[in-house]
Amino acid sequence: MIIRPRHIHHCAVVLAVLTMGCEGATRPSSFVIPGPSVPSPLPTAAPYVWDTRDELAIWVENPVALGSLALEGNGPDGFIRIAQAEREWTLRGPDLTPSATGVRTLLLRYRWRPDPALSPAASRTLRATAYFQTTAPLQPYYFGQGAASADLEPRDDWTDITLVPGQFTPPIDVSYCYLHSFGANRGVLEIDRIELVR
């Protein structure tokens, strides 16, 4: 029996190779198929406030808006009325051209009147969330949208509330924004003003 040095070398090569792990996969990149666009009939520029009936109509009259939405009032007194707040609703803002820079959150001026027939134990808050489509990913390989939320307390007069940013760190650059709620208990929600806070 002759043991050649080459055999030992071969064994060493095989064993050395086998002590390494390997991974054979290239995870393909995720991507986003855009939803419907909402062009604005009015110029979109700072201070990014939608207050009049015509301005608020942009948030209601588009293919993305969802829910029992109606426009009430005229001119500067116009507001959005959501008569069935117990249902899911969405308000889609216009595409911002150019995009809004330095956005920190969103401000709502609202009235929220829960149904008086609700039982005393029923919840009377309404959770609303604003989603911001940013011009760049919030994090590498992250495809989420920036979100800011607030629980709206019942109010009979117009009240301003600033939504609290969630998983993003302001400021961000926004190409459009939309408001969404899964619904609350019965009641009527009215929105008089929407403003991007910068």
Partner 1 sequence: MTRLWLTLAAAGILAASPVAPAEATASLDADDVKMSRFEIGGSASAILPIVSEDVPTVVMGGGPRVTINVAPWMGIELLAEALGPVEDQGTFGVYMTQVKVPVSRSAGGGRTLSLTVGAAGAASYQVFPETRRVRFDGSTVVHPGYRRFRAVAPNSLSVGMSGRHVLSRLAAGTWDLQGLIGAVGGIAVRASVGVSFGIGGYR
Applying CB under 8 A, the residues found at the interface with partner 1 are 1-4, 6-7, 10-11, 13-15, 17-36, 63-64, 66, 90, 92, 131, 133, 143, 145, 176, 178, 180
Q: Which is nearer to partner 1, 12 or 46 (CB)?
A: 12
* Residue 90: closest CA among 53, 60, 110, 70: 60
Q: Which positions ≥6 away from 90 have C-beta within 8 Å?
A: 64, 65, 66, 67, 178, 179, 180
Shortest CB 145 distance to partner 1, Å: 7
Q: Which is nearer to partner 1, 24 or 47 (CB)?
A: 24
Shortest CB 63 distance to partner 1, Å: 7
Q: Which is nearer to partner 1, 105 or 145 (CB)?
A: 145
Q: Which is nearer to partner 1, 21 or 120 (CB)?
A: 21
| Cα gap 71→78, rounded to integer Å | 7
Shortest CB 34 distance to partner 1, Å: 5
Q: Which is nearer to partner 1, 53 or 66 (CB)?
A: 66
Q: Which is nearer to partner 1, 33 or 117 (CB)?
A: 33
* 102 backbone dihedrals φ, ψ, rounded to 5°: 70, 30
Residues comprising the chain, all counted: 198
* Residue 103: closest CA among 77, 138, 68, 128: 138
Q: What does the block give as tokens for 7?
A: 């055999």
Q: Which positions ≥6 away from 184 have C-beta within 8 Å?
A: 85, 86, 114, 123, 125, 126, 127
The enclosing H or E element of 188 equals strand 187-197
Shortest CB 19 distance to partner 1, Å: 6
| Single-letter code of the amino acid located at 102 | G
Shortest CB 139 distance to partner 1, Å: 14
Shortest CB 128 distance to partner 1, Å: 12
